[in-house]
Structure 1
Amino acid sequence: MGLFGKKRGDSPGYEDNAALDGFGGYQPSDSSGYTPPVPELAAPVEPEPQPAKQPMSRSGRRAMYGFFATLGVIAVATLANNGSDRSSSSTPTSRTPIVYTPSPQVVAPPVTDGWQSVAGKDGVYAYDVPPNWTPKPGTIHGWEKGTQVPGIRMVASAFVGDGYCPQDKESRIGGSGVTNVKVSEPSAAAQKAIDDLAVSAYNPENGPLTAKITKEPAQPAEFTLGTGKKVPASIVLAEVVTPPGPCGARRALVGVLAPELGEASAALAVYSGQDTPGGADREQILKILKTYRGVPEADRKTITPPPSTLR
């Protein structure tokens, strides 16, 4: 798609904040300096997180703890039991990720033949991606909030098309991840998540807002909890058209599935360029979204992965 992985002065770009200095102090939930919150499954109350050992900004700590505490409580408690910078210039920037693999790691089997599962938060929820995607469940990624964009953070990440653009070896065609949305109604939650992603990813953080975003009407869906109970969900798709950049792409497609989980939703977001071979088209994005599910405890498997990969 040409929009992810650019330098700030070029075009809207991808931010991968797996423990990268300068990205609001973010760390992955499985890094050595982060103590994850322990959610109360019976009574969802945000815990007091322990401060990270690695120095980070105060705003970064607030953002990180708030995001993980809220997402952890909502996603884990609800999915398991419900139903019983680079800084200032005109455009966002890219970062080469430092990827940490959790040890031990909980995995879940895919539900789509030939695809790969991406499990999040101790395997309580998962979704599947095609074989040409790279699952990175321990990576946080997103875009910083700016004066013109709302910003978004996603966990349980996966990516496609690394280095597709010869002009930028850090470029990516697209990706996916789960984001916390503080909206309870599924259609409204999906609308908010798609706005946060499309506006933040395809516009300079401090403006101007040059991307044309065309949303489709919300379509009803279902989400299966780990208990087997089905709850209402909503899917929203949007086409994004931007001015051409150095890699030449102009069109992308963004999709979100938001389930009804109580006071907030843990929504799956998928985005991909449409002008570059290897990305996900409309049919494939819908297929990825519809694999999002709660995972029964019997299907969760703990493994000890190889040592963390740094790149």
Structure 2
Amino acid sequence: MGPAPRLSVPPTQPTQPTQPSGSALPAEPGVPPRLAHREAGIPLPTPRLLGFVLFLGFAILSFAIGSNTERAHETGSADAPVKAPVVSEPVPETRVVVPAAVGGWQPVVQREGAYAYDVPPDWTPRPGTIHGWETEGTQFTLVTSAFVGERACGPDEHARRGGSGLTAATGKDAATAATETAETLARHAYTPDGGVEPDVEVVERRSVEVSIGGRDGEAELVLAEVTVADAGECLPRTALVGALAVAVPDNDSVPVLLAYDGQDGKDATSKDDMVRLLTSLRSVPENERETTVVTPTP
């Protein structure tokens, strides 16, 4: 039985940034305390490109996702050793709170409140967390995270049954971005180290609408069923991966919300709930945002 894929970007809490004076855009989060050997992963949008879509209300969403993910991909020199995660005592922090769009669910809110999505009651929102995987030197990372099934595998303290988060894909076509990022996540999350890649079958693909910038925006949704070739000790035999890519007019990058969950147990996230999670992605008007001070759990 093969080992589970190595989590190269374990869940970490970025340091609190300082907002630049006069900046209308969210500040980038601090660099996560664990560094990879080389720069890799999905290419990200630049602030210059994002400026073209400001008038449509997409810029805050795209910039927040892109800049957070870009920080997750920043690396040290090729010869620098990989640093272990920094462990520190939780300190109180200010968080933005917004209402849920799905009744009885929990919002996962980007740090400045620019965007949010909802997760079921048994999931744990960890919006300040960056998580991801490394496969043969490449990284795949997600920001504004949530998790389900904490400590799903005894030997691996970072193992979760499932999770969610956002990334950014290059290109203009949302349908292509949704399919490719879902397949990429499946390969990273469900291929054991040195093992065989899983079989990934797209079982649903359709256009949907999401609320972005106070209006309905076009998005493409994909669901894929994953059959793991070598489940081993910590991987499920089957999994469900979903992706929702937001079409951004006249831009060269696409924000993508991803979610994944093992399907072996009776508590697994259903296809219907996966769709609800993905289509709850939205930008949040300032008048719906409130702030609160919390002390995160370790």
Indicate the structure with greater strand content.
2
Contact 2:61–2:114 at 8 Å: present in 1 too? no
Q: How far does residue 67 in structure 1 lie from its aligned partner after superposition?
A: 6.1
SS at match of 1:303: strand
Q: 1:197 to 1:51 in 2, by over 3 A?
A: closer
Q: Which of 180, 184, 202 is the matching residue for 1:215?
A: 202
The one-letter code sitting in structure 1 at the alignment partner of 2:146 is A
Q: Which of 224, 229, 240 is the matching residue for 2:215?
A: 229
The whole-number CA distance in structure 2 between the counterparts of 1:247 and 1:58 is 23
The answer as to 2:140 corresponding to 1:152 is yes
The corresponding residue for 2:116 is 126
The Cα offsets for residues 251-272 of structure 1, whole Å up to 9 and x where unpaired, read as 0000000101232122110000
Q: How far does residue 50 in structure 1 lie from its aligned partner after superposition?
A: 10
Q: 1:279 to 1:217 in 2, by over 3 A?
A: closer
Contact 1:18–1:98 at 8 Å: present in 2 too? no
TM-score w.r.t. the length of structure 2 is: 0.74
Provide structure 1 residue ranges, at least 5 long, that are not aligned to the other structure: 1-7, 20-27, 83-94
Q: 1:179 to 1:98 in 2, by over 3 A?
A: farther
State the superposition RMSD in angstroms: 4.1
SS at match of 1:193: helix
- Counting only pairs closer than 5 Å after superposition, residues 128-143 of structure 1 correspond to structure 2 as 128-143=118-133
Q: How far does residue 13 in structure 1 lie from its aligned partner after superposition?
A: 5.3
The answer as to 2:163 corresponding to 1:183 is no
Q: 1:216 to 1:50 in 2, by over 3 A?
A: closer
The whole-number CA distance in structure 1 between the counterparts of 2:244 and 2:260 is 12
The whole-number CA distance in structure 1 between the counterparts of 2:237 and 2:22 is 42
The answer as to 2:159 corresponding to 1:171 is yes
Q: How far does residue 117 in structure 1 lie from its aligned partner after superposition?
A: 0.3
The one-letter code sitting in structure 1 at the alignment partner of 2:276 is K
The one-letter code sitting in structure 2 at the alignment partner of 1:209 is V
Contact 1:221–1:233 at 8 Å: present in 2 too? yes
The answer as to 2:257 corresponding to 1:268 is yes
Q: 1:248 to 1:291 in 2, by over 3 A?
A: closer
The Cα offsets for residues 162-204 of structure 1, whole Å up to 9 and x where unpaired, read as 1244565653210100111122221011112112211111114
Q: 1:12 to 1:38 in 2, by over 3 A?
A: farther
The whole-number CA distance in structure 1 between the counterparts of 2:288 and 2:233 is 45
The whole-number CA distance in structure 2 between the counterparts of 1:39 and 1:185 is 33
Contact 1:133–1:158 at 8 Å: present in 2 too? yes
Q: 1:302 to 1:216 in 2, by over 3 A?
A: same
TM-score w.r.t. the length of structure 1 is: 0.71
Q: How far does residue 37 in structure 1 lie from its aligned partner after superposition?
A: 8.0
Contact 2:45–2:253 at 8 Å: present in 1 too? no
The corresponding residue for 2:191 is 203
Identity of aligned residues (%): 32
The corresponding residue for 1:256 is 243
Provide structure 2 residue ranges, at least 5 long, that are not aligned to the other structure: 63-84
Contact 1:213–1:238 at 8 Å: present in 2 too? yes
Contact 2:45–2:252 at 8 Å: present in 1 too? no
The corresponding residue for 1:240 is 226
Corresponding pairs, count: 270
The one-letter code sitting in structure 2 at the alignment partner of 1:158 is A
- Counting only pairs closer than 5 Å after superposition, residues 89-108 of structure 1 correspond to structure 2 as 103-108=93-98
SS at match of 2:142: strand
The corresponding residue for 1:305 is 294
Compare 105-114 and 152-161 and name the one that shifted more.
Answer: 105-114
Q: 1:188 to 1:247 in 2, by over 3 A?
A: closer
Q: 1:292 to 1:282 in 2, by over 3 A?
A: same
